[in-house]
Amino acid sequence: MSQLGIVINREFNVRVRKKSFIITTILVPLLIVAMMAVPTLLMLYSSTDTKVIAVIDESGVVAPQMESNDDVQFITIDQPLDEARADEERFGVLWIGSDILENSSSVKLYCNSSSSVMLEESIESRISKIVETEKLKAYNIDNLPEIMEAVKTRITLQTFRNDRDDSRSVSAGVSFAIGYALAFILYMFLLIYGQMVMTAVIEEKNSRVLDVLVTSVKPFQLMLGKILGVASVAVLQVVIWGVLIFGIGSLCMSAILPHVMSGEEVAQLAAYQSGTLDMSTVDAGNIEGLKTFATFTDIGYLAGVFCYLLLFLLGGYLFYSAMFAAVGASVDNITDAGQLTTPITIPIILALMIMFVVMKDPNSSLAFWFSIIPFTSPIVMMARIPAGIAVWEPLLSLAVLYISIAVMVWLASRIYRVGILMHGKKPTFKELYKWMKSNY
């Protein structure tokens, strides 16, 4: 055990003391928080010049109803199109054909500079509403605008869980977004840290350091120490990231909330989190945003998800890094490792694809079994957990995963003990199988 501790300590210290580790540990949380906060701040404080658009309406029905705002100002003109397009002082010219009521594509926008998706969608939406209103007028129905306004209805579905003592509705969209983000984090960690172990073994094997080490340390202890040493680095980094992201994120959230939400909406958020909010008093368009803010400010929920992330990250890493270490011990360079690592990376990529099945139905049989099978369970289960599955499912997945780790480490160690002393030839899969069965 003392020899194992020495190997773990060496692997941990070598990586933690690198400048790259310190820089990435500090910068990544800041970048993540910035990616979430900066777009909101830019929308709050950015100001754009009002775009002046001349309108040539040959139909005579659309231009009078085009309403301007702070972003765009519509000016109706009566002059030839070519002459209007020559005026570079305006942003552009909007031409509307005389057959707009029959031909929906009889609209053209001529710009003097680059346009934007939001501007074009805004113009399309305004003209569509005007044309629809004009078409309805042909039916000669009295008080038609009032009738249309009265029947206009936006349905907002509120989903509740019968298996939970919670009066708050849940959001499938928010749950999937969180699950996808967590699963993608696991995907990156499994590949990056697993290949880090493989690369370290190959480098030490090429320098013949391993040939010396095995004279005083058992190959199994050497492999396990290297795996656990890198695992401790990964866990430390994730913990630091979690603390920084939650800490900085909560400060940014408290600073942004007063600007993006009114006093009434902040009060509704507090009532929603306590389960006392009457959802009938909330505007239909604000319900999804309310659920999103409530989820990202629920410390208990985030802490629970983060604990699961640590457990599955550690388990997935130990499971895959054993295989990566065995491959590293079997070859002399990274190029030769490519073919042997393909069977290892395929399940990881497959797990990422299964997440779309989770989006469709997190409780489907396919999603369930792929979240239990240890080759895909770390990623798939993390995509399912935010959806609110039964507690026994992640516990069963963890139990199967950690039992499989013991089996995989034992199998990988049998390849490792032979491979570290082999030089000059890339083994085949058949030879690797013989190494696992050998007793020397």
pTM of the model: 0.66
List Cα–Cα distances, 273 to 46, 266, 277, in angstroms.
Answer: 31, 11, 8
- Give the pLDDT mean for 335-363: 83
Question: Can you give the C-alpha Rg of the chain in angstroms?
Answer: 30
pLDDT digits (tens, 9 = 90+) for 163-206: 555 545 455 666 777 777 788 888 888 888 888 888 877 877 77
Q: How far apart are CA 56 and CA 65, in angstroms?
A: 13
The reported pLDDT for the residue numbered 397 is: 93
pLDDT at 402: 92
Rounded to whole angstroms, what are the CA distances from 280 to 151, 155, 269, 271, 273? 18, 12, 14, 13, 16
* pLDDT for res 158: 59
Of 123 and 169, the one with more pLDDT: 123
User: Cα angle vertex 239, ends 235, 240, to 5°?
Assistant: 120
Q: Measuring CA to CA, which residue among 124, 69, 57, 114 is closest to residue 91? A: 114
Question: Quick one: tokens of 278?
Answer: 């009457």
pLDDT (average), residues 421-434: 77
pLDDT given at position 167: 47
Within 8 A by CB and 6+ apart from 141, the residues are 147
Average predicted confidence (pLDDT) for the chain = 77
Q: Is the pLDDT of residue 401 over 90?
A: yes
| E strands in 89-215 | 92-96, 107-111
Q: What is the mean pLDDT of residues 143-155?
A: 74
Using the predicted structure, report yes or no on whether residue 426 has a pLDDT greater than 80. no
Q: Is 276 exposed, middle or buried (0-12, 13-18, 19+ CB in 10 A)?
A: exposed
Read off the pLDDT of residues 269-292 as tens digits, 9 standing for 90 and up. 556 555 555 555 556 555 656 666
Q: What is the pLDDT of residues 102-119, one digit of tens each?
A: 888 888 888 888 888 888
Could you identify the residue written with the tokens 């005007």? 130
Closest-CA residue to 25 (of 240, 197, 249): 240
Q: Which residues pair with 249 in a beta bridge?
A: none
Structure tokens at 438: 């050998």
pLDDT tens readout for residues 209-255: 666 666 677 777 777 888 888 888 888 888 887 777 777 666 666 66
Report percent pLDDT > 90 for the chain. 4
Predicted confidence at residue 265, as pLDDT, reads 60
Read out DSSP for 184-234?
HHHHHHHHHHHHHHHHHHHHHHHTTHHHHHTTTS-HHHHHHHHHHHHHHHH
Question: What pLDDT was estimated at residue 400?
Answer: 94
